Structure 1
Amino acid sequence: MNLYDLKASPNARRVRIFLAEKGVEIPSQDIDLSTGFHKSPEYLEKNILGRMPLLELDDGTCISESHAICRFLEEEYPTPPLMGRTQIERAQVEMWNRRMELELLYPLINIFTHSHPMWKDLRTQVPDWAAVCNTHATETLDWMETALEGREFLATDDYTIADITGQCAVLIGKAVGVRVPETHSNLSGWWTRVTSRPTARA
C-alpha cells in the first residue's frame, strides 16, 4: 500500500491519526501542491479530483476520501476498533462522525478557503460565505458543549473516528480564529483528552 498524503490537510491528518491509533505504518508520499503533481495525468488517473489523501493498494486499486480510506483500514486492521464494536455503536459513531464533518469540519475549511490569502488565485472566494460558516461553526461548538455533558468522548465510551474528525476540525478552527470558548468546560475537557493521546501529532 501507498498513502498519498498532504501534511496541511485536515482530512489527510484524519487518516494519519487513524493509522497511528491502529499502530500501523504504511509507505507514504507527501505531495507538494506547488509542483502540480496532483494535477498531472498520472495522479488524476488515480483520483479524478486531484486531491489527497489517496490510498493505493498493492493491486493498483485506489481509494480516495478520508472516511472511505478509514473504512477500508478498519476492516483490514480491526484492532483497536475505531468505528464501534456493536451494531448500535457503529451507527452512533457514523452519526457523530457525519455531524463533525458537516457541522464543524467543512464549515471551518470553508472559512479558510474563502478568507485566507493562499486561496486567492486558486479558488473563487466568497467572503460572505466565510462569515456564514463562522457563525455556523461557533453554534456547533455551543451544542457540542451540551452534548458532551457527562461524556468523555463524542459517540461512545471509547475514542473513535468521530473524535478524530472533531479534533482535526477544532485544530483548523484555531487557524481561522474559531476557538473553543473558555466557558465550555465539557468541550475543553474533551479537547484535552483527545490531544493528550500519543497519536494526536500524527
Structure 2
Amino acid sequence: MKLYCGVGPNSYRVRIFMAEKGVDLPRVEVDLFKGEHKFPEFLKLNSLGQIPVLMLDDGTVITESVAICRYLEELNPEPPLFGREPVGRAKVEMWNRRVELQVMGTIGDYTFHTNEFFKDRVPQFPGFGEAQKLNVPRKWEWLDREMADGRPFIAGEQFSIADITAGVAAWLGEFFEIERPASLPNVNRWLERVRSRPSWNAQ
C-alpha cells in the first residue's frame, strides 16, 4: 500500500490515525501549491482532485479520509478508534459526524469562500464565508456544553476518530486565525489532553 497525501486537514487526520495505530505506510507527497492534485495522472486516482488517497497493492484506490481510516481499522483493530461494541461504534460515528459538520464544516465554509487558494475550486461568496467565521465560536460553545458531563473524550471514555476530527478542526481554525473562545473549560481540557498524545505531532 501507499498513501498519497500532503498539507491539509484530511491528510493530517489520516496521519494522526496511523500514528495511533502504529501503522507506517510509504507516502507520495502531493504538492497542492504546485497543483499536483490536478495533474492528469493524479486525477486518474481521484477524479475530484483531492487528497488523501490510499492505493492498495492490487491497485484498488480508496479516497476520503474517514474511509481510509476505516480500512486501516479493519486491518489493525487495536486500539479501536471507531468504537468496540455496537453502542460504542454508533456513538463514535455520531460524534465524528457532528464535529465534522458543525465545527470543521463551518471552518471549511469560511476558508473555501474567502481564501485565494480555493477561488478556482468553488464559486466563492465572501459574505457567506465571513458569516460562517462569526459562527465558529458558537460551534465551540455548543461542544463545550455537550462535554459538561466530564467525559474525557468526545464520544465517551475512549479516544476515537471523533477526537482526531475535532482536534484537526481546532488546528485548522488556529491556522486561519479563527476565534475559539478562551473561556471553554471542557473543550480546553479536552484539547490539552488530545494534544499531549504522541500522535499529535505525526508528520
**TM-score w.r.t. structure 2 length?**
0.94
> Which residue identity does 2:183 align to in structure 1?
T
Q: CA deviation at 1:121?
A: 5.1
Q: Distance in 1 between matches of 2:2 and 2:121?
A: 27
Q: Secondary structure at the match of 1:200?
A: helix
Matches within 5 A, 1:1-202: 1-7=1-7, 9-120=8-119, 123-149=122-148, 150-202=150-202
Deviation (angstroms), 1:42: 1.9
8 A Cα contact 2:136 2:180, kept in partner? no
Range 27-36 or range 47-56, more displaced: 27-36
CA contact (8 A) 2:100 2:165 kept: yes
1:72-109 CA distances to partner (integer Å, 9 max, x unpaired)?
A: 01101111100001100000000000011111112112
Number of residues paired by the alignment?
201
What's the secondary structure of 1:43's corresponding residue?
helix
Q: Is the 8 A contact 2:21 2:79 kept in 1?
A: yes
Pair 1:116–1:40, CA change in 2 (3 A): closer
Quick one: percent identity of the two aligned structures? 43
Deviations 1:37-59 (A, max 9, x none): 32223221211111100000000
Q: Which amino acid aligns with 2:105?
A: Y
Answer whether contact 1:103 1:136 (CA < 8 A) is retained: no
Return the alpha-carbon distance in structure 2 between the equivalents of residues 118 and 192 of structure 1.
Answer: 30
More moved, 181-190 vs 123-132: 123-132
Alpha-carbon distance in 2 for matches of 1:163, 1:188 = 13
Whole-Å separation in 2 of the counterparts to 1:37 and 1:112: 20
Say which is worse superposed, 168-177 or 54-63, in terms of deviation.
168-177
Cα distance in structure 2, aligned partners of 1:187 and 1:36: 36
User: Distance in 2 between the 1:195 and 1:179 partners?
Assistant: 18
Deviation of 1:180 (Å): 2.6
For structure 1, the 5+ residue unaligned runs are none
For 1:91 and 1:166, the matched residues in 2 are separated by 17
Q: Which moved more, 1:188-197 or 1:131-140?
A: 131-140
Amino acid corresponding to residue 75 of structure 2 in structure 1: E
Work out the CA distance in 2 between the residues paired with 1:110 and 1:144: 18
> What secondary structure is seen at the aligned counterpart in 2 of 1:29?
strand
Does the CA-based 8 Å contact 2:136-2:179 persist in structure 1? no
Q: Deviations over 1:13-48 (max 9, x none)?
A: 000000000001000111112443322232212111
Alpha-carbon distance in 1 for matches of 2:66, 2:131:
26
Matched letter for residue 102 of structure 1:
L
SS across alignment from 2:3: strand
Which stretch shows the higher mean deviation, 21-30 or 168-177?
168-177
TM-score, normalised via structure 1 length: 0.94
